[in-house]
């Protein structure tokens, strides 16, 4: 049977996906029909993979999807390093908080905010790339990488593969750069595991804050936010219980994550790391 047809990631109907995402009692209007949106609604992060190779051409398909994303001024200021060597995945996993799924997945993608190519292009025609010394250009590169990566996620899930982003690739950026032989003026901004989900360790659709908390019409208003966060805490606790996870309010988790530099897993020194990697962000 075709993998895309048989995959449980592709079999959840829209109504169920919306109920899992927002709660069964969420009041949402009827939405336009869209197979693409239906696939997006079924997204879940996958942290357990089968020991199974990917179909030939998968990497090229994911990159083609990534390169079909928008890019600021057509600068295409990103690159991706595809890692399949078990020993390199092992070393990268240690640098990224020792996450086992990095070692387990058949393909680990490291997405690069890459200004170095623009440096070389400008130098090649005798021009300077002084604009690359400003924070705006690093933001352009990081945003370009994120847009491309999300297109790759949608593409991967469309053929029954699972993915998970790895922000911990920024924990030790200089060592990651050395492992991947990155040139100056580039930085790994996140990783991504890709592979077939292990059906014995399924990942469910995680609840999100309701749209009424996220969407502001005409002007920003947080008037109803406290009640919405309290509702979300309760709904997320229910999800955690079903998943066998430690039950913790989202508000407490979020507050802990932003409580201070000690909660940033080494990423509080990002400006220093950028300078060490030759990325100047004035």
CATH code (residue 99): 3.40.109.10
Torsions phi, psi for 194 (to 5 deg) = -135, 135
Residue 83 inside a domain? The answer is yes
The reply to whether 73 falls in a domain is yes
pLDDT band with cut points at 50, 70 and 90 for residue 203: confident
Q: Which of 165-169, 261-265, 266-270 has the highest mean pLDDT?
A: 165-169
Confidence of residue 10 (pLDDT cuts 50, 70, 90): low
- The SS3 of residue 223 is coil
Could you tell me if 7 and 20 lie in one domain? yes
150 and 20 belong to one structural domain:
no
Look at residue 213 and tell me if it is in a domain: no
Is residue 136's pLDDT more than 60?
A: yes
Pick the range with the lowest mean pLDDT from 71-80, 130-139, 208-217, 263-272: 263-272
- pLDDT value, residue 148: 98
Question: Rounded distance, CA 107 to CA 102, Å?
Answer: 8
Nearest to 206 by CA among 63, 45, 37: 45
- Per the structure, how many domains does the chain have? 2
Query: For the ranges 157-161, 199-203, 225-229, which has the lowest average pLDDT?
Result: 199-203
**Residue 141 placed within a domain:** yes
Look at residue 6 and tell me whether its pLDDT is greater than 80: no
Domain boundary among 27, 42, 57: 42
What tens digit of pLDDT does each residue of 147-186 get?
A: 999 999 999 999 999 999 999 999 999 999 999 999 999 9
**Do 17 and 99 lie in a common domain?**
no
Q: What is the mean pLDDT of residues 118-131?
A: 97
- Within a domain: residue 221? no
Which domain, by its residues, includes 74? 45-199+266-276
Q: Are residues 71 and 158 located together in one domain of the fold?
A: yes
Residue 58 lies in a domain: yes
Together in a domain, 124 and 109? yes
Query: What are the pLDDT digits (tens) for 19-45?
Result: 999 999 998 999 999 999 999 999 999
**pLDDT band at residue 1 using 50, 70 and 90 as cut-offs:** very low
pLDDT digits (tens, 9 = 90+) for 41-68: 999 999 999 999 999 999 999 999 999 9
Asked if pLDDT for residue 269 goes beyond 70, the answer is: yes
In terms of domains, do 24 and 74 share one? no
Are 35 and 60 within one domain? no
Of the candidates 119, 143, 142, the residue with the CA atom closest to the CA atom of residue 132: 119
Residues 21 and 125 in one domain: no
Instruction: Specify the pTM.
Output: 0.93
Q: What is the mean pLDDT of residues 124-146?
A: 96
> Is residue 38 located within the same domain as residue 56?
no
Q: Is residue 67 domain-shared with residue 81, that is, in the same domain?
A: yes
Shared domain for 91 and 80, answered yes or no, is yes
Quick one: 187 exposed, middle or buried, by C-beta within 10 A (0-12, 13-18, 19+)? buried
Asked whether residue 158 is domain-assigned, the answer is yes
Residues 77 and 192 in one domain: yes
pLDDT at 8: 56
């Amino acid at each position: 049977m075709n993998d895309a047809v048989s995959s449980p990631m592709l079999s959840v109907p829209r109504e169920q996906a919306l109920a899992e995402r927002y709660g069964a009692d969420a009041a949402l209007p009827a939405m336009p029909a869209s197979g693409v949106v239906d696939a997006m609604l079924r997204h879940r992060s996958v942290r357990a993979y089968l020991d199974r190779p990917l179909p030939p051409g998968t990497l090229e398909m994911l990159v083609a999807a990534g390169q079909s994303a928008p890019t600021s001024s057509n600068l295409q200021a990103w690159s991706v390093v595809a890692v399949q060597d078990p020993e390199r995945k092992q070393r990268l996993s240690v640098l990224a908080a020792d996450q086992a799924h990095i070692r387990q997945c058949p393909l680990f993608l490291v997405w690069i905010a890459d200004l170095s190519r623009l440096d070389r292009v400008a130098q090649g025609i005798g021009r300077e790339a002084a604009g690359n010394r400003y924070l705006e250009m690093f933001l352009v590169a990081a945003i370009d990488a994120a847009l491309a990566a999300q297109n790759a996620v949608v593409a991967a899930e469309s053929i029954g593969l699972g993915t998970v982003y790895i922000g911990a690739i920024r924990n030790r950026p200089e060592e990651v750069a050395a492992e991947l032989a990155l040139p100056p003026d580039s930085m790994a901004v996140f990783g991504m595991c890709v592979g077939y989900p292990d059906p014995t360790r399924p990942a469910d659709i995680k609840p999100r804050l309701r749209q009424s908390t996220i969407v502001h019409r005409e002007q920003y208003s947080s008037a109803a936010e406290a009640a919405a966060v309290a509702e979300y805490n309760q709904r997320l606790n229910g999800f955690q219980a079903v998943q066998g996870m430690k039950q913790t309010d989202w508000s407490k988790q979020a507050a802990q994550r932003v409580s201070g530099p000690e909660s940033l897993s080494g990423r509080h020194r990002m400006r220093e790391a950028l300078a060490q990697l030759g990325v100047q962000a004035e």
